[in-house]
Amino acid sequence: MTPPLIGITLHSHTDPDRADLDLLINLIAQGVERAGGLPIFIPFGLSAETLQALHARLDGVLFSGGGDVDPSLYALERHPAMGGVDAERDRVEIALARWAVDERKPFFGICRGSQVINVALGGSLYRDLSEAAGAGRHSFAPEFPHGFLAHAIKVEEDSRLAEILGRPVLAVNSMHHQALRQVAPGLRVTAYAPDGMVEAVELPEHPFGLAVQWHPECLPDAPEMRRLFEAFVEAAGKRGRG
Give me the amino acid identity at 31: G
Exactly one of 55, 93, 111, 218 is catalytic; which is it?
Answer: 111
- By C-alpha distance, which of 218, 158, 223, 233 is closest to 191? 158
CA dihedral defined by 187, 191, 195, 198, rounded to 10 degrees? -30
CA separation for the pair 199, 179 (Å, rounded): 8
From 49, 89, 56, 59, select the one nearest 73 (Cα to Cα). Answer: 89
Q: Active site residue: 93, 199, 202, 217, which one?
A: 217
Instruction: Note if 217 is an active site residue.
Output: yes
Q: Residue 218 — φ and ψ, nearest 5°?
A: -85, 0
Point out the catalytic residue in the list 11, 151, 176, 215. 215
Is 146 among the residues known to form the active site?
Answer: no
d(CA 63, CA 114): 8
93 is catalytic: no
**Count of C-beta atoms within a 10 Å radius of residue 157:** 9
Q: Are 4 and 233 in contact (CB under 8 A)?
A: yes
3-state secondary structure 136-173: CCCECCCCCCCCCCCEEEEECCCCHHHHHHCCCEEEEC
- Give the active site residues: 111, 215, 217
